Structure 1
Amino acid sequence: MFWSHITWPELPDRLAQAGQAAILPVGATEQHGPHMGCGMDTEIADKLCRAVSQRTSVPMLPPLPYGCSLGHSRRWPGTIPVQPITLIELVKQIGDGAYHSGVRRLFIVNTHVTNAAPLRCALEMLRAEHDDLMVAVINSPDISERVRRFHFADAADWHANDAETSLMLAVSPEIVRPERMAQADDPDRTEGQVFAHPVNRTSLNGVTGYPSQASAEKGREAFGWMVDDLSALIQRGLSQTPPLAHSYSDPVA
């Protein structure tokens, strides 16, 4: 059920069988502390959406590996950010292409926190231009309450923490350096702050949280929750229509 594996003659039938829906995973390439590879966000976006695509039969578009990671600064190598306006325009153009290929329900699954605002802007632009296109931005930590509790257990401003490290130990262990996990812990310093600071001013090593607490067992359980709960969310979306049928452009009669 991967868009990149489907030929153009096959695509209309595949989309018809999937409620004219597609999934767009959006990740990032950025430092994840001394113990984890820079592709973590894209890795989880890819693995999660692949599993959900196979379960729901909704085609998955190729994942975006670059995101709005400006807040990670230049203190540590590995972060390759794009400007918010670049991400907005890129996702808008991807959505345009998906629409012209027959997509009418677009589920954007985001696994990097600061992609959320640009993706919301892209949503606004897409639905204003395409009257019959429905777009959802789903931020992976907020898929469900149990998934949220898992992500935020050790830090409110979490990054490369227990949750993310556990997920990678479960689904992509090759990008984790277990021998460095015990020394990677760094507490959340954002509590009570009025301003949103970049990571160079809140973390000593690029981590916020306690990766030393991570385990593959916790990661497998949480990944299972994420697949189950995102699949259920998308299944709900496949049967939904707008509450009212009013056109975006037509004035009140």
Structure 2
Amino acid sequence: MINRVKALSKPLSERWGKPVLNKWGKKIYLDQMTMKELEERVKENDIVFLPVGSTEAHGPFEPLGEDTIIGVSIAERVCYETGCTVALPIAYGSHPSHHYGMPGTIPVRATTLIEYVADVIKWLSNAGFKKIIVWNSHGQEYVLPIAKDIAIIEKEVHALILVTSWWKWIQDLLRKAGTGEEIAPGVKLETPFVHADEVEASVTWYVAPDLIDEELLKKEGEWGVVRVIPGKWVNAAGNVFPDKPFNWYDVSHLPEFYYYKKGFVGWPKLADPKKGEVLVNKVIERVIEFVNWLKENYPPGTVPRTWINYEDLFYNKPKEYVEPKG
């Protein structure tokens, strides 16, 4: 058996063939548990992370599964420290129109993803997980909250469902990009968070260094940013600036297929694993704080009532019940 912290940084045969354990020596991943272990887990900790990523073009030097790899890596490290569970990731995501057509990008329709995620949520709840964190790591944060509501309204899930993205936990750091301010002593971000850029490449370089082509990244990792509307009005990835009137997904952007054929945006040549380490560790620190609060305030098997039982609604009830006349 192995204890390790960096997800997917070892051969897949080891990931699938050997248990990945938390600091108490218990399994982290749901798919590796037996039914008996599952039953025991939800009695002691019923919080589960459901990573939702993508398979998507990230340039000639970053892996297609970058979003998924980042999300799973962070979730694993949080669960290593907290005793929570990581469900298998959903590795094919929804995409905005400007992503379509890129080789290696595998988009699914938003409606398909919504139904799929809602179904997974339903049956995670049925398995005993009553706090379900939909852990997003791809540009589909405008889609996943709908899956939450579908799960509650249409699938009648009785659980606390939370949707978040890893970058939401470090927006204060991401806002420092390009300002000259340090995110840690001696560490600066020079360009805003976009796609397969300085930020994302740095994070992947830290969590999965063997999957980055360092030589090619430093040689070819510069493309710039072309906009339909100036950034004064439109947010970049992560929507880290709340004062801008358009979120990044509110605007029809230029298709990558025509304008970003290399599969990345910005200046990934500025990436450095030290930058990724600062960002990832701060996310982990803050998520652990939240998870510990959740564990303390809603122990296993307890959950605030976040749903309506339809039979309780007045219009569902007849005025009286009578014997059948047939």
TM-score band by shorter chain is: 0.7 to 0.9
- Hey, what's the Cα distance between the residues in 2 that align with 1:68 and 1:150? 29
Contact kept, 8 Å, 2:156 with 2:307, in 1: the verdict is: no
Where is the helix percentage greater, Structure 1 or Structure 2?
1
In the other structure, the counterpart of 2:265 is: 208
- Hey, what's the Cα distance between the residues in 2 that align with 1:220 and 1:131? 37
Q: Deviation per CA, 1:16-62: give whole Å up to 9, x if none.
A: 211x2211011100000122111100111111111111111111101
Contact kept, 8 Å, 1:147 with 1:225, in 2: the verdict is: no
Among 54, 57, 77, the alignment partner of 1:28 is 54
Alpha-carbon shift at residue 173 of structure 1 (Å): 1.5
In the other structure, the counterpart of 2:169 is: 143
- Hey, what's the Cα distance between the residues in 2 that align with 1:48 and 1:151? 21
Contact kept, 8 Å, 2:54 with 2:93, in 1: the verdict is: yes
Amino acid at match of 1:139: S
In the other structure, the counterpart of 2:100 is: 73
**Alignment CA distance shift 1:87-1:41 (3 Å):** same
- Hey, what's the Cα distance between the residues in 2 that align with 1:36 and 1:178? 9
Contact kept, 8 Å, 2:152 with 2:307, in 1: the verdict is: no
Given the alignment of the two structures, is residue 155 of structure 1 paired with residue 192 of structure 2, yes or no? yes
Among 188, 191, 209, the alignment partner of 2:225 is 188
- Hey, what's the Cα distance between the residues in 2 that align with 1:151 and 1:60? 31
Contact kept, 8 Å, 2:125 with 2:157, in 1: the verdict is: no
- Hey, what's the Cα distance between the residues in 1 that align with 2:121 and 2:309? 18
Q: Deviation per CA, 1:109-147: give whole Å up to 9, x if none.
A: 00001x212211110111223353111111111123345
Among 274, 290, 294, the alignment partner of 1:237 is 294
In the other structure, the counterpart of 1:14 is: 41
Unpaired segments of 5 or more residues in structure 1?
A: none
The normalised TM-score by structure 1 is 0.87
In the other structure, the counterpart of 1:130 is: 156
Identity of paired residues, percent? 23
Query: How many pairs are equivalent?
Result: 248
The normalised TM-score by structure 2 is 0.69
Amino acid at match of 1:179: E
- Hey, what's the Cα distance between the residues in 2 that align with 1:100 and 1:176? 39
Among 151, 167, 171, the alignment partner of 2:207 is 171
**Alignment CA distance shift 1:131-1:73 (3 Å):** closer
**Alignment CA distance shift 1:79-1:166 (3 Å):** same
Amino acid at match of 2:40: D
Alpha-carbon shift at residue 151 of structure 1 (Å): 7.7
CA RMSD of aligned residues (A): 2.5
In the other structure, the counterpart of 2:64 is: 38
Contact kept, 8 Å, 2:158 with 2:306, in 1: the verdict is: no
Amino acid at match of 2:222: D
Amino acid at match of 1:78: G
Alpha-carbon shift at residue 237 of structure 1 (Å): 3.1
Q: Which region of structure 1 is more displaced relative to structure 2, 41-50 or 123-132?
A: 123-132
